[in-house]
Structures are given as structure tokens and as C-alpha cells.
Amino acid sequence: MQPQFTSQGIVLCLLLGLALSGALFVARLYAVLSQGAKPRRRRGPAERCHLAVFLGSGGHTSEALSLLSALDFSRYSPRTYFISEGDTLSMRKALELEAAKAADASKSGLSHPAAKAPYSFVVIPRARRVHQSLLTTPVTAAVSLCAAIWHITIAPLLSRSSAPEVLLLNGPGTCFVLCIAAYLNRILGLQSPRLIYVESFARVRQLSLSGKLLRPIVDRFVVQWPKLLEDGKRGEFRGWVI
Amino acid sequence: MHAFVTVGSTRFDALVHKALSPPFLDVLRAKGYRSIDVQCGNSDFDPSSFDLPAPDHWHRTHDGLDVNVWRFKPSLKDDYERADLIVSHAGSGTIIDVLRLGKPLIVVPNPTLLDNHQEELSDALAGLGHLKSSTVADLPQAIEKLDPSKLVPFPQFDGSRFRELLDDEMGYVDHDHARKNGR
């Protein structure tokens, strides 16, 4: 007897398939969320690590660059600076830090002064501008997310250049879309940067909105005042890091 | 002695107005100050009693005290270094820069800001003795009472904390440390 495919049968199959793929996605998301990034591997002291940082303008940029100034730039190389559209001041400050680090390195004979420092800038459209209406925010946020997915998920697949292995974040809003892109990599089983969030020195008793949003999903959550950890949720305090 | 009042990139009319008021300037004069610079940013003030020696630079003397007002400079570092006392809005960047230079600092949080977490920071640092926090109204008394020798020195930048955290997260083993611990 020939099986009869009725329209109800097709709809049923479609629904079943949809439910199945939905369940798989949720299971994958759950697995990714509960594991975090892949377990870290040991690195030799001379091995390099591709570092990315989001410069969120103003005080966010100052604190992020202060954190970076602590690092060995020959180890954390190359470096990718994510900046918001139109934020030339953050770019200028990052260039100042790169110049200062290069001057230090050539003084101590570690690098040739003419050698091109391995860093680049990537511009991300803002997820939400200051005073932007809530009505249009989903549109700008979607554009911002697409840019983040392009740079974190798709571009590394298409090019031979390395992808960031760690992404340093300290707010505000736009850094959230970079996190979502990194999670997309994890769901798809691609290499994802480890996510490190450092809450601002100015946050003493209450986390910022970015801090609250990112606390459950980043790999390391660092605060600079111990009171912020009194709720017993995750995070670490190592004194002032900036 | 020289005092420096700064509002950074913000607008803080009340602080600028107070810093240019005769009672405030009298207190400075009595404490031995000979000059004051006010970096007023986007604040409004009444320039009618001032000369204008340069565009966006106002000047007058008050009972032998040199008063200069201007809006912005690319960097305020030289102004912090020149000053014996700094009065500032509660911006965290300004606070760190000034305290790391070892300068006495009085912070005045801006009460008109809605999300005023900056007041949390100035309260916490005042609690640790690194600076004094004041309202606009109490500023003259705060300057009168200030004893810079009683302020607790602010720690210098310690890059090792974040460097160790990141090296650990990225799998760089601290070899010296590992050897010392017999691992």
C-alpha cells in the first residue's frame, strides 16, 4: 500500500522537525552555558596570545587601557581594538599606549624601533546611542550585533589571520553584542575568545547595567570593591586593578 | 600656594559659581593661597567682572588673589601638578589621576546627576581617608578644615594584579612561582 502524504502529515513533520531542532539548540545552549569556554590549555612562556579589547569611550576606555598597560605586549600580540563608531578619542588614546609600549620595548632592546606593532582597530556601530529612543533601539542593536558577528564569527573563518583568544570588556552596552557573538561561536563549536569583564573602579555598592547583564555569561568577572560580591554570586576581587 | 577647581568634561554650574564667589575666595586667601584656576567645562558662569586676556580665558584679581577661568585643555596633568589643592567633581578618572600625584583632593559630587554612583566612589574613598568629600554649600568650611597631612596616601598603580589574572586565565604558568612551590 502506498503511504498517503496528507497536508496534515506534512505540517506534523515540519512541526516535529522544528521542535527537534529547537530542543537541540536549547540543549547545545545549555551545554555551552554550563561549561563556559573550552578548558584552558597550558602555554609556553614564549607563546603568543591574540588579545581583543572593547574601548567603550570616556572612563571605560581609560580603565581598559590602564588594564592593558599592565600586560606584556610581546606576549599579548596581535591586539585588536574594538571601538564604537565615531569614537576617535578612544582610538587616539590607544595609539598613545601603543606608542608608549613600543618606546619602552625599543629602549630595552626587545624590538626594532621600525618594526610595525601588531595591532588593528575594528569599528562597531553603537548598540544604542546616548538619549536614543527605546523604539529605534532594536534596529541599531541588530545592526551592531551583525557587525559583531561578522568580526568575531565570520571573518576569522574567511581569513587566515588569527582570531582573538581573549576579549576584555568593561562596558557599556555595545560590549554585550560582542559577548553574544562569542557565544554564537561556542554554540557552533567554533573557537571563541575567553571573555573577561572588569567592573569599573567607580562601582562601589552596585554593579553597572553591563555588569549585571554579563556577570552570568563571562568566563571571569572581576570587581574592584568587595561589597559587590556580598550577594554570594560569582565574581572575584583582587584589590584595585587599575 | 595655588588651587585648581575642575569639572572635567561635565557641566556643574553650582560648583563653578561657588568657586568664583567672594566668600569662597576669601577663605582661600586667608589660607595663604595666591592664585586659583577654575576649569569650568560646559558650565555657565557670569563673566561680566572678568577681563578676557585670550579667547575662552577669563581673569580677575580678588583681594590679591589671581583668579583664572577657562573651559578645556587636552590634558589637565600640568594643572594638577602645579596645584597645592584640587577641588573636583566626582569623576573617577580625575580622582585617580589626582590621588596618584599625591595631591590633596576635595571632591564635590554633582547632586543633579540622576544615576549618581559617583557619590558612592567619593564616599568610599573619603571613608578610607584618601580624600575629603563635600557638598557645594560646605566647600568653604571643607577648605578651612583641610589638613593635607591627615590624608592617607593612595596606592600607586599595581599592574601585577591584572597581569597575573590574565596570564593565569590564558594558561601561562608562572614558572618561577611553580618552582618555588616545588611543582
- B95-110: average pLDDT: 96
Q: Across the interface, which of B118, B120, B169 has its CB nearest the CB of A196?
A: B169
- Choose between A6 and A86: higher pLDDT: A86
Class of residue A115 by CB neighbours under 10 A (exposed 0-12, middle 13-18, buried 19+):
exposed
Q: Which of A21, A65, A37, A66 is nearest to A179 (CA)?
A: A37
pLDDT-derived band at A20 (thresholds 50, 70, 90) equals confident
Phi and psi dihedrals of A114, rounded to 5? -85, -10
Is it the case that residue B120 has pLDDT exceeding 50? yes
CATH classification for the domain delimited by A50-107+115-125+134-237, as one of 3.40.50.970, 3.30.360.10, 3.40.50.2000, 3.40.50.300: 3.40.50.2000
Q: Across the interface, which of B93, B169, B170 has its CB nearest the CB of A62?
A: B93
pLDDT for residue B177:
56
Domain-located, residue B106: yes
- B102-119: average pLDDT: 86
A200·B157 Cβ contact <8 A: no
Q: Which of B163, B92, B174 is nearest to A196 (CA)?
A: B163
Domain-located, residue B177: no
Mutation for testing the A interface, residue in B115, B122, B172 having most A CBs under 10 Å = B172
B10, closest residue in chain A (CA to CA): A58
Query: What are the pLDDT digits (tens) for B28-73?
Result: 999 999 999 999 999 999 999 999 999 999 999 999 999 999 999 9
Number of domains present in the structure of chain B: 1
B161·A241 Cβ contact <8 A: yes
* Chain B contact set for A238 (CB, 8 A): 161-162, 165
Q: B46 CA to chain A: closest CA distance, Å?
A: 29
Is it the case that residue A3 has pLDDT exceeding 50? yes
A43·B170 Cβ contact <8 A: yes
Q: Which of A64, A24, A42, A13 is nearest to A167 (CA)?
A: A64
Domain-located, residue B17: yes
* Total-model pTM: 0.87
Domain-located, residue B175: no
pLDDT for residue B182:
45
pLDDT-derived band at A7 (thresholds 50, 70, 90) equals confident
- A230-240: average pLDDT: 96
Is it the case that residue B84 has pLDDT exceeding 90? yes
Amino acid at A107: K
User: What is the three-class DSSP state of B89?
Assistant: coil
Domain-located, residue B27: yes
B120·A45 Cβ contact <8 A: no
Q: B152 CA to chain A: closest CA distance, Å?
A: 16
Q: B60 CA to chain A: closest CA distance, Å?
A: 33
Is it the case that residue A41 has pLDDT exceeding 90? no
B159·A202 Cβ contact <8 A: no
pLDDT for residue A47:
94
Q: What ipTM was reported for this prediction? A: 0.87
Going across the sheet that includes B105-107, the strands are: B51-54, B57-62, B65-70, B35-39, B2-6, B85-88, B105-107, B132-133
Domain-located, residue B178: no
Domain-located, residue B167: no
- Structural domain including B17 reads 2-153
Structural domain boundaries of chain A?
A: 50-107+115-125+134-237
> What whole-number distance in Å separates Cα of residue B180 and Cα of residue B183?
8
Three-state SS string over B48-74 comes to: CCCEEEECCEEEEEECCEEEEEECCCC
- Choose between B75 and B86: higher pLDDT: B86
> What whole-number distance in Å separates Cα of residue A240 and Cα of residue A222?
10
- Whole-number average pLDDT of chain A: 89
pLDDT-derived band at A58 (thresholds 50, 70, 90) equals confident
pLDDT for residue A207:
95
CATH number of B28's domain:
3.40.50.2000
B165·A45 Cβ contact <8 A: no
* Chain B contact set for A101 (CB, 8 A): none
Quick check: B109 contacting A, CB < 8 Å?
A: no
- A151-161: average pLDDT: 90
Is it the case that residue B175 has pLDDT exceeding 70? no
pLDDT-derived band at B152 (thresholds 50, 70, 90) equals very high
Quick check: B127 contacting A, CB < 8 Å?
A: no
Q: How many CB pairs under 8 A join A and B?
A: 89
Domain-located, residue B176: no
Query: What are the pLDDT digits (tens) for A185-208?
Result: 999 999 999 999 999 999 999 999
